[in-house]
Amino acid sequence: MNVTQASVLEKFEAPLRLREFPLPTHLEPGAALVRTEMAGICGTDVHLWKGELPISLPVILGHETVGRIEQLGEGLERDWTGQPLRAGDRITWNSATSCGHCYYCAEKRQPTRCAERRAYGIGYRCDQPPHLLGGYAKFHYLRPRTHIFKLPDDLPTESVIGAGCALITAIHGIERTGIVWRDNVVVQGAGPVGISALAVAKASGAAQVIVIGGPKHRLEMAKRFGADHTIDINAVRDPAARISAIRELTGSHGADVVLECVGIPSAVVEGMEMCRDGGKYLILGHYCDGGTVSFNPHVVTRKQLQIFGSWSSEPRHMKAAIEFLRAHRRDFPFDAMVTHRFPLDQANEALSTTAQWDSAKTVLIPNA
Ligand SMILES: [Zn+2]
Ligand SMILES: [Zn+2]
């Protein structure tokens, strides 16, 4: 029997362990076996490792992955866009799949809220076949109905993983909120989601995009991505001072659109105050339950705020992300986000680099 290796989360807050798993001997119809080229470490992985999301262990983490097709199951001939698939093709895929026929999938067209939705690297235990359902592994099994995307030859793997799940999350959130040409936009947060939101806002025609965040290396990355102004939260520590800085930069009105990409509850109270009257506020960074915050609803009424939420992404956002990355490689250097690379047996070092915000983006190269 052929065996392969994966890094496994067996216990919350304990080191990941390198484990051996059998390679599948045959594939289900519509499935695929992929040799992992690069797996992104997402901030969510840190939350998962700490046990902040309700998941069942053991799990192979990793929900941002690029690999090459090793083997195709019967009947799997084309990717989500209709391009033919062959062994050796470089592909990525949506980590989550929805059922396609429930109330939210079919009737309300909110497939991200499907009750049957499960994601690679999060929602599958690895102690049951086919085991290999996460990116921190040398091989990845793709179940039937996975949304697969063949990558164009001129788009580097670093661009796809550098953008990771952050870009598709930002595309979805901004699609719901809407940015009008010449809008003043504020992005709260300079992590991967904030940088992605900045890129999408710039490409949507924003007049200026102001990024609030830290530490310094993240704000420098924001400048590389075209941020018109940055506000360092470590230098401007008082929320009231940050709110008045935004007012000054927006002709005393406040921003047309504020995009929250932080995940800290108090940022929401602050961000709503940064909106102009009749402005729009998107809460995008609270994928994990960060707890509650008290706020005055009078602010929402008086300012006539529109408040939006957005969860994960749909396959069409991945298609859009790949086209966006290809079209804007010079303007938005997502490949430069990949600052730290580790082999599979150093997955713990990779995870702690991400946890400490040392990197823009850390990746695993499992077959290095
Ligand atoms: Zn993620
Ligand atoms: Zn469904």
The CA 68 to ligand 1 mean position distance, Å, reads 21
Q: How far apart are CA 161 and CA 149, in angstroms?
A: 13
What share of the chain has pLDDT > 90, as a percent? 96
The CA 189 to ligand 2 mean position distance, Å, reads 32
The CA 43 to ligand 1 mean position distance, Å, reads 6
The CA 192 to ligand 1 mean position distance, Å, reads 9
pLDDT digits (tens, 9 = 90+) for 26-48: 999 999 999 999 999 999 999 99
The CA 105 to ligand 2 mean position distance, Å, reads 4
Contact 108, 175 (CB under 8 A): no
- Least distant ligand from the CA of 135: 1
The CA 210 to ligand 1 mean position distance, Å, reads 24
Look up residue 316 and give its amino acid: R
- Tell me the CA distances in angstroms from 154 to 82, 159, 201, one per residue in order: 19, 10, 24
- Least distant ligand from the CA of 116: 2
pLDDT band of 83, cuts 50, 70, 90: very high
pLDDT band of 1, cuts 50, 70, 90: low
- Least distant ligand from the CA of 53: 1
Residue 213 pLDDT > 80, yes or no? yes
pLDDT at residue 209 in the model: 98
The CA 337 to ligand 2 mean position distance, Å, reads 34
The CA 58 to ligand 2 mean position distance, Å, reads 25
- Tell me the CA distances in angstroms from 153 to 67, 80, 133, 287, one per residue in order: 13, 17, 25, 32
3-155+329-365: CATH topology is Quinone Oxidoreductase; Chain A, domain 1 (3.90.180)
The CA 66 to ligand 1 mean position distance, Å, reads 14
Residue 360 pLDDT > 90, yes or no? no
pLDDT at residue 288 in the model: 86
Q: Lowest-pLDDT range, 1-5, 156-160, 270-274? A: 1-5
pLDDT digits (tens, 9 = 90+) for 93-138: 999 999 999 999 999 999 999 999 999 999 999 999 999 999 999 9
Strands 229-232 and 208-213: parallel
Q: How far apart are CA 173 and CA 170, in angstroms?
A: 5
Where in the chain are the domains? Answer: 3-155+329-365, 166-309
pLDDT digits (tens, 9 = 90+) for 281-297: 999 999 888 899 999 99
Residue 307, judged by CB atoms within 10 A of its CB (0-12, 13-18, 19+), counts as middle
The CA 299 to ligand 1 mean position distance, Å, reads 32
Helical H segments across the chain, by residue range: 43-50, 157-177, 192-203, 216-224, 239-249, 265-274, 297-303, 315-327, 347-355
Q: How far apart are CA 310 and CA 43, in angstroms?
A: 17
Look up residue 232 and give its amino acid: D
The CA 59 to ligand 2 mean position distance, Å, reads 23
- Least distant ligand from the CA of 191: 1
CATH code for the part of the protein at 166-309: 3.40.50.720
pLDDT digits (tens, 9 = 90+) for 293-325: 999 999 999 999 999 999 999 999 999 999 999
pLDDT averaged over every residue in the chain: 96
- Least distant ligand from the CA of 112: 2
Query: What is the pTM for the complete model shown?
Result: 0.96
- Least distant ligand from the CA of 163: 1
pLDDT at residue 37 in the model: 98
The CA 174 to ligand 1 mean position distance, Å, reads 17
